[in-house]
Every structure is written in C-alpha cells, then in structure tokens.
Amino acid sequence: MQSDIFVFSNGRLQRKDNTLYILAEDGRKRPVPIEQIENVHLFGQIDLNSSLLNFVGQKEVILHFYNYYGFYTGSFYPREQKVSGIVTVKQSEHYLIKEKRLYLAQNFVKSAAFHMIRTCRKRKNIDSESVKEIMKLDKEIDKTKNVQQTMGIEGMIRQHYYKALNEMIPQEFIFEERSKRPPRDPFNALISFGNTMMYTAVLSEIYKTHLNPTISYLHEPSQKRFSLCLDLAEIFKPMLVDPLLLTLVNTKKIQLKHFDDHEGMIHLNEEGRKIFITAFDERLQSTIRHRKLNRNVSYRYLIRLECYKLIKHVIGDTKYIPLKAWW
C-alpha cells in the first residue's frame, strides 16, 4: 500500500538505485522504496536535482512544497499519464455553458452545507442559531441564477458556520472572524493548514483520473492554481478537516504552545504540524463501508470516487450527485 511521506528536517532528497533517500543535515539517512510512496510533502529546506525529479516523475510521485511557516507554495506535478481529450473538451463545455456550470457549482455548495450541518449535529450543536441560518440558506442554493449568486450564498453559509465552530471550541481558541493571509489567531492558522492539506490530497487524487485540475465550476479558473481542487475540497473540508480540528483542540492534543507568532502572522510550529498531519493521514487511511460498492473504501478513495462521478457527468454518462455522508 502506498502512503504519503512528510519531511520536516532540512537536508537533501536523492535517488540511489531504485530507492529514494532522505539525507538530513545531522547525517541521518532514511531510505524509502519508491514503490511505497504516493506523495512527498516537503516542509524543510530540501535540496534536490533534475535526476531526482526525473525519477519521481517516472514513478508518478507528486512532490508538495511548503514554506517555513507551513504554507503551501506549489507541487511538482509529473507529466499526466491519464490524458483524455474528450474529458477535457467536455469539462470545458460544462464551464462555458452557464446552466451546466451552475448545476455543478450549486451541488458543490449543497454538499458543503450538508457536511457543515452534519458536523454540528455530531457535536450536539444542531440547535445553534447559526446552524438554523445555514439550514435556511441551504434552501436558497437551488434558487440562484448564476455562479456569483451561488458563491454569495456559500459565503454567507460559511460566515454562520464559523460562528457555529466558535461555539464548539475552547475559550482560548475563539476567533472573531476568518483571516487567511495571514492568519491572525491560532484557530485561523489551524483552519488554513487543514485546508492546505485537504487541497493537496484532492490534487493527488485528481492526478489519478482524466480530469483537468485547472477547469473548475464554483471557483473561477485561474492561471496560478488548480481551481478544481478548491471546488472538490468544499465537499471534504467540513467532512474531514473541521471535525478533526475540533477533536484536536477539545482533547488538548493541539494547544496554544503549538503556534508561533511572526509579526502578527500566526502559524503552527513544527510540533503542531506533526500532530495535525499524523491525525489527518490516519483519517484519510481509515475506511467506511461503501453502500453502493459494498466494500470498505478509505476516506482518501472517496475523493477519487467523487472525481469519477464528475467525469461520468461531463461525458453524459451519469448525472452528478455530490457526496453526502450517510454514516
């Protein structure tokens, strides 16, 4: 079974024979057979060369890079192996035709709202006034006439959702508003880091399909990002990331000592990042019984199944119905 590798130390990444070696600055040498790797997340200052990139590219391993503060900076995305001209054409068609794009955008938001309400219900916060507002807005999604209106509803839903989150976290983590660039408080830093890890997980799964990650429907396509990852992440952030954040702060596995303040920019320190990543990776590898496939599938594989559903929709095979967790 392939897994993700997370490198926090400074050093060098190099190839020797058919093995990837992580050489730390202190002289430690860690061999990792390439067949066991799916993604490599580089948080430390790592040296590598074109030979290494050619090697991981041939093995279809994605390298994700993060800066000193743990913020995502980019990925080495190997040459696509699963290329389909018809899927790209059909993806583009569903972006260009207003009604087709709107249908997908609305469904991404409906799934996100469903999982936000689900998270609050599981945390016994379903009677919150904020959750009631989310339920009201959820009924308005299908009434939107364009993607801009849909995004407007999504923004209002998320504002109420953040208020609901505040009702479920310890006093020391309460935040006034969502701040991203940069995060201004510990819980905002935690949300941002969790969303980053979700984004890279979605990107890794899209890579294994025929989808083009730059053609999106809810978020506007951009030259500087894989915007389809943002679309699909809307479904999974409230289902996977947010419950994990609540658990980590309420069980005190993550505390204020796990954050650093750099001139007003709050970020998880290395110890905090390790705690979150360990928990997040375990969650992605855990399984549930899929009621249609009638077998156990991992949470990570659920992301890929969502990609497959999107492909079937754009080529006219099966209408897209977004994931709504039934367990």
The CA distance from 108 to 112, in Å, is: 6
Neighbours of 10 (CB within 10 A): 14
Identify the CA nearest to 26 among candidates 42, 11, 41. 11
User: By three-state DSSP, how is residue 185 classified?
Assistant: coil
What dihedral do alpha carbons 106, 112, 113, 115 form, nearest 10°? 150
Consult the annotation and say whether 154 binds a ligand. Answer: yes
Instruction: Spell out where the chain has E strands.
Output: 3-7, 11-16, 19-24, 29-33, 37-42, 46-47, 62-66, 72-76, 259-262, 265-268, 287-290, 295-298
Identify the CA nearest to 310 among candidates 214, 234, 236, 232. 232
Consult the annotation and say whether 234 binds a ligand. Answer: yes
Consult the annotation and say whether 93 binds a ligand. Answer: no
State the amino acid at position 20 in one-letter form. L
Annotated binding site for Mn(2+): 154, 219, 234
Could you list the residues known to form a binding site, using ranges: 154, 219, 234
